[in-house]
Structures are given as C-alpha cells and as structure tokens.
Amino acid sequence: MDKVYKHQDIEKEWYSLWEKEGYFTPGNDKTKKQFSIILPPPNANADLHLGHAMYVIEDIMIRYHRMKGDATLWLPGADHAGFETQFVFEKILQKKGKSRFDFDSETLYKMIWDFVQANRGNMENQLKRLGFSLDWTRQVFTLDAKIIKIVQQTFKKLYDDGLLYRSKRLVNYCTRCGTGFSDLEVKYVERVDPLYYMKYGPFTIATSRPETKFRDTALAVNPKDKRYKETIGKTYEIMGLLGPIKMKVIPDPLVDPKFGTGIMKVTPAHDPHDFELGQKFDLPATPIIDFSGKMDFSWFLSQKNINPKYKARAEKYHGKKVLAVRTMMVEDLKEDDLLLKTDENYTHRIGTCYKCGTVIEPLPLPQWYIKIRPLADAAVKAILSKKIKFAPKKQEKTALQWLNNFHDWNISRQIVWGIRIPAWKCLKCGSDEWIVTSGEKPDKCPNCRGTDLEQDKDTFDTWFSSGQWPFATLQVNHEGDYEYFYPTSVMETGYDILPWWVCRMIMLGIYAVGEIPFQTVCLHGLVRDKNGRKMSKSKGNVINPLVMADLYGADALRFALIYGTAFGNDVPMSEDKIRGMRNFSNKLWNIGRFIKMNFESFQNEKKSIDLKSKIPEKNLTDQNDQKLLRDLDAVIKNTTKSIEEYRFDKGAESLYEFIWHNLADKYIESVKERLKNYDEKALNVLTYVFLTSLKLLHPFMPFITEEINKQLSGKNSPLIISTWPKLL
C-alpha cells in the first residue's frame, strides 16, 4: 500500500468499476424484499450545492439494503425546474442585451431546452463524483414525453372528477418575472414604510399603499366598533385626486379597530382579503396596476369631459411604475389638503418574489385551481393510520398542520419552460367552456364543431408535475418496476420542502393511483455554516461540495455531513470539519497499512495466515481479543440499529469511536508485541475486526473502504456486493 491515500485517483476508478459491473441495478429476482428510493430530482441545469451532498443519507440506506440482500433501487432523475431555469436563462439573455420578449414561445422553449441539455451532464457527473450509487439505466427527466403524458392525464382526471376549476382570482404576481406563484412561494419580509393618513370624505384612513385608492370600492369597519356603528350601510361622497366618488361602508369583523383610525379602504383588485370582501358584497375587482407593474389610467383617460386638472394628473401617473406614482400622489395629496399626516416608521410584512425580491402584486388573473380538500383529507387519513411514517417523528405534526390548512392550489404559471396545460378554447363560438384533454389537441369544438381552437398559454406549476414523481418515474422505466417498487420505501429530502413537495406527492399519489407514494418520509436538516447561518454568496460562506471532494476526498465530505449532528437538525458545516474527517480517512489507511505490513512479515516467516475475513476462534484466551470482539458486536448492533431507525449520526459516531479509539488507540497498541512475536491469533482478530468495520463503514465512506478491502484481501471482491456483518 502507498504511504499516502490518494483519493483523487482511487475514487474515480472505483465508481467506474461499480457502474461498469452493473452493481447499482437491482436484479430480476422478484422473490426478494424490495427497497427503493426515488432521488429528489436536482435541477437539470444547475451545479450541485452542499445541500445536494445530503443525498449521502439516501446512499447510506441504499448501500446498506443492497448489502442485506434486498432488491435495491435508487432511481435518478432531473427536474426541468420551470421558473428557476427560465429565470437563469433570462439572466443569460440580459447579458446579451436581449430578453424573453424578443422571442416567440416556441423559439424561447427550444433555446432553453438546448441550454439545459448542454449543461445537464454536469449535474450527473457531480452526483457520481460524490459516490452516489444510483441506477443510471433508469434515469428520467421531468420533460420526457412519457412523463408529460402522465402529468397531463392526471390533470384530465382531476377535471373529469370535478376537482379542477378555472377562476379569476387574485394571484401572487411578480411583475418582473412575469408569473404568478402559490402562497408557499411568496417570501415575506419585514419592512419599514411610511403610513399615510388621508382624508376620505368625513373619515380619515391610514394606508401604506395610497396608489391603489383609485380602485377603492368601499370602506370597511369592525361591526363592534362603536365609533362607526351608525355608518354601516350608508354611502358617502369621497373626494379624491381625480374627483369625487361614492363609497359605501361595509362591516368586516377582521378590521382591527386599533390599526390607524379603525376604518379601512377596500380594494378588491389588489388585496386578497379585500377580494374576499368584494365577493361577499358584490364589489368590482378592477386593477389599477398592470402585469408589468405600471399604473394603468386608460379607463379614466377614455372618459369624456374630464376636468383638465384631473386629466393632467392621470396622464402624469399613467404608465409609470408604482413607487414613482406613489411619490407623485403624496405631493398631490398635500396640494389638495387630503394628506393629514405621515408616520414614517410603520413596520409591516410584505410579500416578495422568493427569486428576485420584487414586491408581489396581488392581481386578478384567470388560473386553474385544484380543489385541495378531498386530496388533503385522504393524505391526512393515510398519515393518521400510520401508512406513512415520519423520521424524525416530530415532522408528522408539521405535515398534518400543512395538510389541514392548505388552500385550493393554483397550478397555472405564466412561463414558457414547462409542461403546457392541455386545455383549449374555441375562438369561433367564444364559449366559456374549456376543452380539456390528456394532451392531444381536440379535433373540434363540441359546441359549434368549429376547428379554430387556441391552447392555454400557461404551463403547469413545477410542483404539480414533480408531485407525481414517484409513480410517474416507475411507470415509464423498466417493465414491472411500478408493480414491484411502488409504493417506494423511503422519501428522503430536506424538511424545508415538506409542504411544497412531500405533502403534494402524498396527495397526488393517493389520488392518481390509489396508493401512498412511499412508506416513510425521512427529513434531514439544512446545511448551514459553522455559525448556523444560511450559506449565501453575498455572505461569502458558501462551501462548494465538489471543491471539498477534490481537496479532502468525497468520503471525508460525506462523513462530515453525517457525523456530530442529530438527524433532522440543521447541519453546521465548515472546511475544518471536513478536514477532520480526512484525518479519519488517513487513520483508516494507516491501520490498513499496518495490517498489510504485518501480514507480509508473517509471510516472510512462513507463518500460515490469510487476510480474508475469517471468524476468529471461539476459545480465545487473551482478554484484549475477547473485549475487542465484544465491542465489535456492539458496534454492529449500533450501526444496524442507527440505519434502521434513521439515526445515521449515531451509526457514524459509533464507528468513528470504535475504529479510532477501541481498535487503533487501544487494541493495536496492546498487540504490537504479540505481532512482533508472530502471534497468529492476534493478527487474525485484528484483521477480522478491521475488515468487518470496513463493511459497516462502507455505506458512509464507500471509496476508501473499497480500496483498503481490496488491498488487504488481495482480490477485487467489492464491498458494495458483500454481505452486511452479523453478530459473532
């Protein structure tokens, strides 16, 4: 053995061998117990980040069950990541002085497709670099034709079952990215803004958004507020910047009498709560802000005989961005003596686009919605009946909380990159009815028999397609995979996407195929820096997993992610910790070299000894030998139990302590004199215990354990297909 472990060369060689020999592919023996995991698909276009390195948890389970003799499948895939990928591609276009608006939809889609396919191999090679034993013969992509077909069929089934509807409601719209988002995708941030107190007829109202006042349709008060009890139901003339309008006072129990003056303006087109009030009181919801984030006063300017003063103001506001108009309005309110005072330190939470940070505009837009309650109720039932279990257990409560509080799900997205919604409108008869199919274009309109049909321009929310990932991937791959491997054994991912993805997979799996998608949900914590902060480029605390693997070895990185943090908790990570696990790799290598040198010394003296994993004799008399074997039994129990119970950190810590301290520091030191005297039992015990330890360690650190085992055994009999150790 070389004096130094050279991970750069060895890791590449071992992965090539594993893949070439087909060790990642489960056999065809359907009598075996199956164990299966569907890889949470990373973005096909993006490089892996440190969070993706947490796939090591799945690899530990996969390698363990493979060694147990189970038919083991870890199915890889890639996500088209609709909005995320289009956002990245648009930034590339911007650098070239172009934008998405310079291309028609088909051209833009083709450009993004080529961009993704050109970069997709990077992500897959990085997964291999970290040693993840995925069955690459079964890899899939969310935009594969067969996957698209399944997603569209689910949409049609929802429509036929009355669980899908189209409604013009307020959506969380990003005027910069040009698409709506679900409630889960809105990032709320605390901000300090001015709070403006304005004269509103006989009332004073307080608002942080004076620009929406042009589409106010009512005033709302709490019916228990004695100050305004007599005003409820009455109509008042309100003088505004564009002239007088009339408004009715309506009751709303949710108005906080302590906020401002206790009376609120109602703008159904620009506030979700106001929209609901508008539905209840039959108020119009007409926006004053368009989808590009600009103020639209065309409705006012189209009127005849407008007061020149008001016309000049409307022309000044029209086509300008919201913040610019807000500044102009404040000055005009002062001019008209309608601004009474301003509180400059109003702290409130506002919704922003989680990607670009633009303030979200609630805007009315027709969208497709799923009636979530029947799907969520079925998911709750499956969890309560323990068909689906959670690790850590506390996450079950979180899942139930989300499922019991989900709103109807908006699945329309105004982007090009994704699966187009299979719904058509007839342009000839102008019917309000949509023609929904399983993907194929209808021949004609069922009402007028016309053939001039136009498809919905929107695409599916990525979470809708990826929510069908477990059953879709198994249905489009090898024949019989779905019948054998579904439901899958474990869904392992970060706890942060429990509501976004895991809950939706449970709902859609039960609905679409009548069966839960997985038996256990296993949720790891988020990887943070050593101080517990989120990693970000702006903070300069990002750790690149591929750089760390090149510097210290993939095994060191893998072990550092598991060791020392209770599973499910956030993982503090630093280069020092990874370097420390590299030291553990060196310790393993040195133990292996020590054993091999002694073996060669025994051979030179013609002593009969082999380095195969031979069980030591039962009648050992040396107390150190006996204790080491007892300790080995304990570590076999601990490691097995830790993996079975999803407490991977306990297994890693048990192995680390046993190998470094019990085996290296204590036992090896105690037997050096015996080995010098060619004590065959001592070398036999040492070899057996170390080779067994390598088997236990293999799921955690696959590369170095394979190499040391090969060096000591003298044969290429990979640990990846060896048998999991049993108690003596």
Neighbouring CB atoms inside 10 A of 110's CB total 12
* 643-701: pLDDT as tens digits: 999 999 999 999 999 999 999 999 999 999 999 999 988 999 999 999 999 999 999 99
**Dihedral sign computed on CA atoms, order 490, 34, 154, 39:** positive
pTM of the shown model: 0.90
pLDDT at 626 over 80: yes
* 185-211: pLDDT as tens digits: 889 999 999 999 999 999 999 999 999
Tell me the HSE value of 325 on the side-chain side, using a 13 A CA sphere.
24
- The stretch 336-340 carries a mean pLDDT of 95
Tell me the HSE value of 381 on the side-chain side, using a 13 A CA sphere.
11
CA distance 608 to 588: 25
Question: 707 by DSSP, 3-state: which?
Answer: helix
Confidence of residue 614 (pLDDT cuts 50, 70, 90): low
pLDDT at 316 over 60: yes
- The stretch 561-567 carries a mean pLDDT of 95
| Continuous segment of H or E residues that includes residue 547 | helix 545-552
Confidence of residue 321 (pLDDT cuts 50, 70, 90): very high
The pLDDT of residue 202 is 95
- The stretch 286-314 carries a mean pLDDT of 94
Q: Strand 218-221 and strand 243-251: pairing? A: parallel
* 135-151: pLDDT as tens digits: 999 999 999 999 999 99
Confidence of residue 610 (pLDDT cuts 50, 70, 90): low
Q: Which two tokens stand for residue 588?
A: 């393993």
Q: Closest Cα partner for 458 from 238, 178, 648? A: 178
* 50-61: pLDDT as tens digits: 999 999 999 999
- The stretch 392-408 carries a mean pLDDT of 96
pLDDT at 223 over 60: yes
What's the mean pLDDT when you consider all of the chain?
94
CA distance 87 to 417: 10
Confidence of residue 603 (pLDDT cuts 50, 70, 90): confident
Highest mean pLDDT among 141-155, 445-459, 708-722: 141-155
CA distance 681 to 678: 9
The pLDDT of residue 108 is 96
- The stretch 555-565 carries a mean pLDDT of 97
**Structural domains in the chain, sorted by start:** 32-153+374-416+459-524 (3.40.50.620), 179-361 (3.90.740.10), 557-721 (1.10.730.10)
Q: Which residues contact 213 (CB under 8 A, 6 or more apart)?
A: 198, 207, 240, 241, 265, 267
User: Which regions of 201-300 does DSSP assign to beta strands (E)?
Assistant: 203-207, 218-221, 235-240, 243-251, 263-266
Which percentage of the chain shows pLDDT scores above 90? 86
- The stretch 162-167 carries a mean pLDDT of 96
The pLDDT of residue 714 is 73
CA distances from 476 to 244, 285, 471, 570 (A): 63, 45, 9, 35
The pLDDT of residue 621 is 84
The pLDDT of residue 611 is 54
CA distance 6 to 468: 42
Q: Which two tokens stand for residue 19?
A: 């893949």
* 455-498: pLDDT as tens digits: 999 999 999 999 999 999 999 988 999 999 999 999 999 999 99
Confidence of residue 45 (pLDDT cuts 50, 70, 90): confident
Confidence of residue 385 (pLDDT cuts 50, 70, 90): very high
* 254-280: pLDDT as tens digits: 999 999 999 999 999 999 999 999 999
pLDDT at 613 over 60: no
Q: Closest Cα partner for 500 from 109, 273, 181, 165? A: 181
> Which amino acid, one-letter code, is at 422?
P
The pLDDT of residue 184 is 74
- The stretch 562-587 carries a mean pLDDT of 96
Q: Which residues contact 697 (CB under 8 A, 6 or more apart)?
A: 588, 655, 659, 705
The pLDDT of residue 355 is 85
pLDDT at 513 over 70: yes
The pLDDT of residue 618 is 64
CA distance 145 to 652: 42
Q: Which two tokens stand for residue 182?
A: 């679900």
The pLDDT of residue 620 is 81
Q: Closest Cα partner for 434 from 410, 408, 469, 458? A: 458
Q: Closest Cα partner for 728 from 615, 611, 610, 637? A: 615
* 13-41: pLDDT as tens digits: 999 999 999 999 997 788 899 999 999 99
pLDDT at 360 over 60: yes
> Which amino acid, one-letter code, is at 250?
I
- The stretch 437-449 carries a mean pLDDT of 93
Question: 177 by DSSP, 3-state: which?
Answer: coil
The pLDDT of residue 388 is 98
Question: Which DSSP symbol is given to 428?
Answer: T
Is 239 within 8 Å of 204 (Cβ atoms)?
Answer: no
pLDDT at 619 over 80: no
